[in-house]
Amino acid sequence: MMRGVSNAPMRDKIVVVTGASSGIGKASAAGIAALGAHTVLVSRTAKRGRKALDEMARACTSPSLDLLVADLSTMAAVRDLADTFNAKYQRLDVLFNNAGILTSRRRVTADGFEEQFFVNYLSYYLLTGLLLDRLRAGAASRIINMTSSSHSSGILDFDDLQMERRYRGWQQYANTKLMSMVFTYALARRLQGSHVTANCLHPGVIHTGLLRNFSSVLNLMFHALQRFFKQPDDGAETPVYLASSQEVAGVSGKYFRRCEPMGTTAASNDPVVQERLWSESERLSGFHYSL
């Protein structure tokens, strides 16, 4: 834990972590569970999710855990996940939208979306909206969205958000991280006075499995250099802090790095850009928030 940073007990809190079977999501879920929260792990596959859950059950004292399986690359899967959660739980205290991918080649989901655009961004917009009633019931509750320092090189081309013209995997990754940030700011503004906060974060340069779908050569290079990168447990410091600390109770619409709020690009703070992305998200997902 970083100097000056404190995490509060989370007993009786209900927390959802997507992408919880590996990397930062897994480490964050474990850290949150260790604070006493009832932690709902969302995993793309049952096998990997069960493995992560079993490891957390052995590591924590009297853990309270649940596993929901959802491949968050389709709208049907996101809706099914929300329906399942809403049927089992009456409230939600923390939603950590963490699931993400990085691909070298342009791939299209079953719904016709570019995959990084949907998984890294539009699924956040849709899942958060579908769970918003439960978040309101848990107020004061918290929404945490994963982004990255790569947002600074992101570009929002509203004529080509899904990079149909000339696909570049790294660039689209940065673009989706900027979208996640812009969404967070627009959402936080809409939630003012509701006792539901929305923040986003950069976890640091972390050695995870994110590159497994990108380039085998690049993956090998990163593997060779992994000793210079932080591990997922380090990357979990800021998400766990945002989920639990009383220091950020009521704080909303901020970007955190190393558990500290940081400034972001002019584009991310432009209300015109925020509203344009919100409108496009409504149109593409077919989902309108009840705010």
Catalytic residues: 173
Which range is least confidently modeled, 151-155, 185-189, 209-213, 242-246? 209-213
Mean of pLDDT values over 128-143: 96
> In terms of residues, how long is the chain?
291
Q: Is residue 220 part of a domain?
A: no
What is the percent of the chain where pLDDT is above 90? Answer: 81
Q: Is residue 226 part of a domain?
A: no
pLDDT reading at 22 higher than 90: yes
Q: Is residue 27 part of a domain?
A: yes
Residue of 175, 201, 197, 177 lying closest to 187 (CA atoms): 197
Mean of pLDDT values over 51-67: 92
DSSP of 20-82: TTSHHHHHHHHHHHHTT-EEEEEESSHHHHHHHHHHHHHHSSS-EEEEEE--TTSHHHHHHHH
Distance CA 76, CA 71 (A): 9
Q: Which two tokens stand for residue 234?
A: 């380090």
Mean of pLDDT values over 181-185: 98
What pLDDT band is residue 231 in, cutting at 50, 70 and 90?
Answer: low
Q: Is residue 210 part of a domain?
A: no
pLDDT, mean over the chain: 90
pLDDT reading at 21 higher than 80: yes
pLDDT reading at 218 higher than 90: no
Question: 137 with 107: CB under 8 angstroms?
Answer: no
DSSP of 3-16: TT------TT-EEE
What pLDDT band is residue 208 in, cutting at 50, 70 and 90?
Answer: very low
Q: Which two tokens stand for residue 131?
A: 């769970």
pLDDT of residue 212: 52
Cα distances (Å, whole numbers) of residue 286 to 58, 75, 126, 278: 42, 10, 9, 12
Q: Which CATH number fits the domain that encloses residue 112?
A: 3.40.50.720
**Chain centre to alpha carbon of residue 13:** 18
Q: Is residue 3 part of a domain?
A: no
pLDDT reading at 223 higher than 80: no
pLDDT of residue 196: 98
Q: Please give the model's pTM, rounded to 2 decimal places.
A: 0.91
User: Count of domains in the chain?
Assistant: 1
Q: Is residue 227 part of a domain?
A: no
What pLDDT band is residue 219 in, cutting at 50, 70 and 90?
Answer: low
Distance CA 116, CA 154 (A): 13
What pLDDT band is residue 288 in, cutting at 50, 70 and 90?
Answer: very high
Q: Is residue 1 part of a domain?
A: no
Q: Which range of residues forms the domain containing residue 117? A: 14-205+232-284
**130 contacts: CB under 8 Å, gap ≥ 6:** 78, 79, 82, 83, 86, 287
